[in-house]
Amino acid sequence: MLLRLNIHNIALIESMELEFGGGLNVLSGETGAGKSIIVDALGLVRGDKTQRMLVGLYGDSARVEGVFDVGANAAALAAMSEYGLDDSEGLLILSREIGKSGPSICRANAQTVTLAALRRLGDALVDIHGQHEHQSLFDPRTQMPMLDRFGGRETLEAVRAVAKTFRRYTELEDRLREKFGDESEREKRMDFLRFQTEEIAAARPRPGEEEELSALRKRMQNAQRITDTLTEAYDLLYGDTDGRAATAAVDRALSGFEQIRALDPEYDRLAEKLRSAYYALEEIALDVRDLRAAFSYDPQLLEETQTRLDRIARLKRKYGPTVKDVLAFYESAMKELEELENSAELIARLESERAGLAETLFTQCTALHRARAAAAGRLAEQVRAQLKDLGLDKARFEIALSSPPASPGEARGRIGMGGFDKIEFLISPNVGQDLMPLARIVSGGEASRIMLALKTIVAELDDVGTLVFDEIDTGLSGRIAHIVAQKLGMIAKDRQVLCITHLPQIAAMADAHFLIEKSDDSKKTFVSVSRLDPEGEIGEIARLSGAGRDKTAVKAHARQMKSEADAFKRGRG
């Protein structure tokens, strides 16, 4: 769950630190006090789209940091492991810094990460539901994943099986279309491959050849300098006829030490060193002589070497940056050419495999459709029960799945990664109204209740530890508001809930209550937050009730609401 949220220079907030606990955390305040700024800030740290207008008055950048307990969140721990983030303390610290220009900076446990990584981590931790969130929740594209999660293991395994088979099926389709689609194009491709492979085969490049040739060319280009150096070195070491060669000089020194070596052990030691030096110089001189005798300058060899290097360079420009890449291209081209030359047999084999996969895919999609149909019936029944609790007892709710095709041929063109089903959540809020898509609901109160009904059911399926509800109580009051408060209380039994509200019934259900206030000093406007003590909670519940002039009676009613909410929470089990 979310343990702490630090906000710096977001909108009217200069600096704020909020500490949250488990259960239902309620945030309330006057309209326009800045409650939704906190949700926007949490959205930033979760990886939502950057809103540069949120950068406040206290600098050119804004920063948000969220500290999460992830010890029991399998999805978050898996993502952390993938990104190499330490989870030894069971904490994940996400931060986001945005400026008035330039990209945002995202970090996880002090490690810089991409926005996509931040979004993946955030999605595993926090689910935000705003008063307009039903615009996405009611989108058919989000309804199918919701139904599949509700369907449980059977449905999800069927989804994975369809996706795996569909990937292989589309690979075969692509291969048949791209390589074997048109006979004339196939002939052109074979001619081109033959030209390429014959060009490489004729050149016969081999690994390491280019380096050897480059070294040989370098020696040929420096032939005169090499010859002069070897000749001079041999003369200096051994070949000087005037006795000035190094070996001759050492030999004379050694003869002198031979005369006195018996007079002192140190002279004897130096005599042996001189003897070793003589033999070493003599060996070096002979090696230099052999190198000089073996080396010769051949203009034709230099020309042939350059021609060969030019040929290898042309191959590299056409088929790869290195000779190894050229040879790899050759192997690949030969394999493709062989496939094309034997295409009739291969096409028949691939088409047979494709036909088999089409049958398998149709069978798997049909099984997935049945699993979804069964799950849709159960989900619709549970939603209807939730709507009845929420005062929509006359509402009809149905989940419409498209009719399945009767054969693989009929299914062709309808099947995708998720099967061949189309889905639509339909509602008739009132007696006499036709069933219609959720997106066509115009009542904010009805939309909020339907969304809460869905989230009450689906929340049990997710690993997400923190649910955020931003003023989803729009259009609710009286008994329905009381029921909504109880629904939130039930959700908060097993996970952390943050709720921005104007309803006293929800405020009374809070396990922790935060008051958001806006003030100014005649120059700037400030937003502050404070956690209310028990007496402060009663005062805020009374303010939200907003009825009557008798403050004593209103407070007494607020205490009664709080007492009843506490009794409900004790009875949740």
- The one-character DSSP state at 238 is I
Token pair belonging to 119: 């979004």
Check: CB of residue 461 under 8 Å from CB of residue 150: yes
Burial of 554 (0-12, 13-18, 19+ CB in 10 A): buried
Token pair belonging to 187: 């002939």
C-alpha to C-alpha distance for 100 and 102, rounded to whole angstroms: 7
Q: Is the dihedral of CA 515, 531, 3, 573 positive or negative?
A: negative
Check: CB of residue 26 under 8 Å from CB of residue 501: yes
Token look-up 């519940």 returns 541
Tell me, what's the pLDDT at 3? Answer: 93
| DSSP letter string, 33-47 | SSHHHHHHHHHHHHT
Tell me, what's the pLDDT at 370? Answer: 94
N- to C-terminal Cα distance for the chain?
Answer: 21
Residues paired with 390 in a beta bridge: none
> What strand order describes the sheet that includes 525-531?
126-130, 466-470, 496-500, 24-29, 512-520, 525-531
C-alpha to C-alpha distance for 314 and 212, rounded to whole angstroms: 17
Tell me, what's the pLDDT at 445? Answer: 67
Encoded amino acid at 319, one letter: Y
Tell me, what's the pLDDT at 182? Answer: 65
* Spatial CA neighbour of 43 closest among 91, 94, 80, 101: 94
- Weakly modelled stretches of the chain, pLDDT under 50: none
C-alpha to C-alpha distance for 464 and 349, rounded to whole angstroms: 47
Other CB atoms closer than 10 Å to residue 259's CB: what's the count? 10
Look at residue 298 and give its three-state secondary structure.
coil
Per-residue CA distances from 408 to 38, 360, 361, 362, 492 (Å): 52, 9, 8, 6, 47
At 91, give phi and psi (nearest 5°).
-120, 150
Residues paired with 513 in a beta bridge: 26
Token pair belonging to 510: 């809070």
Check: CB of residue 107 under 8 Å from CB of residue 95: yes
Tell me, what's the pLDDT at 143? Answer: 86
Tell me, what's the pLDDT at 130? Answer: 64
Which positions ≥6 away from 499 have C-beta within 8 Å? 24, 25, 26, 27, 468, 469, 472, 488, 506
pLDDT tens digits, 346-392: 777 777 888 888 899 999 999 999 999 999 999 999 999 988 888 88
Q: Which domains does the chain have, with CATH numbers?
A: 2-133+465-570 (3.40.50.300), 209-331 (no CATH)
Tell me, what's the pLDDT at 9? Answer: 87
Tell me, what's the pLDDT at 495? Answer: 85
